[in-house]
Amino acid sequence: MFTGIIEEKGSILNMHKGRTSASLTIGARKILDGMKTGDSIAVNGICLTVTSFTKTSFTVDVMPETMRSTSLGDLKEKSMVNLERALRLEDRMGGHMVSGHIDGIGTISSRKREDNALWLTIEAGMDILLYMVKKGSIAVDGVSLTIADLRDASFSISLIPLTQQETILEEKKEGDIVNIECDMIGKYVERFLSAGNHEMAQKKSRIDMDFLREHEFF
């Protein structure tokens, strides 16, 4: 579990691609403190497992499904990435609950500055936009943000100067791909509602002609 508060920006030192998978070695400083093999690290919002590490870097393996459903395939050597260690129970909850399981990707359609803020508009599919509400929480490349505007095919976020400085989002250009994780509460609500509807449908399906005859309705 993560909070979406980025701890530092790392750099891809080596990217070894298999046929559909990859192994990444990422240079870092702060998050290496106390690191152990098996630790979970969010890389651009994607929960990955540390397979090995040194004093200046760590390595993670990326499964084919993760390569297909996220923006990791667009990375190359020297690419910068957002990094966050898993939440500890004694930590403050500064952002919102982020699982590190990406719901899909979006494309930056516009960026503009307004005084000290940077506005990014991101186009996404309806399967992702369904879980968003205006002023609700969203994680973009692992960064906990507030949805400032929501439209039929896109949503907008506004980055304060600190977020611009401490994450890679300030470097994003129009046409760039970002990872999106929606607020998990909305997904649970949909699941509960759909499960309830399915149960009701099953109950209705038990009423047929044989049921009516057995209970002497005719």
Residues 177 and 197 in one domain: no
How would you write the pLDDT of the chain (218 residues) with one tens digit per residue?
999 999 999 999 999 999 999 999 999 999 999 999 999 999 999 999 999 999 999 999 999 999 999 999 999 999 999 999 999 888 888 889 999 999 999 999 999 999 999 999 999 999 999 999 999 999 999 999 999 999 999 999 999 999 999 999 999 999 999 999 998 887 888 777 777 555 555 555 555 556 556 655 55
Total domains in the fold of the chain: 3
Q: Domain containing 148: what range?
A: 104-189
**Does 120 map to a domain?**
yes
**Does 2 map to a domain?**
no
Q: By C-alpha distance, which of 72, 97, 69 is closest to 4?
A: 97
Residues 135 and 165 in one domain: yes
Say how far apart CA 79 and CA 26 lie, in whole Å. 10
**Does 165 map to a domain?**
yes
Q: By C-alpha distance, which of 127, 128, 109, 88 is closest to 173?
A: 109
Report the number of secondary-structure helices (H) and strands (E) in the chain. 5, 12
Q: By C-alpha distance, which of 28, 70, 30, 25 is closest to 47?
A: 70
Output the 3-class SS for 67-100.
Answer: HHHCCHHHCCCCCEEEEEECCCCCCCCCCCCECC
Provide the pLDDT for residue 94.
86
CATH number of the domain where residue 28 is located: 2.40.30.20
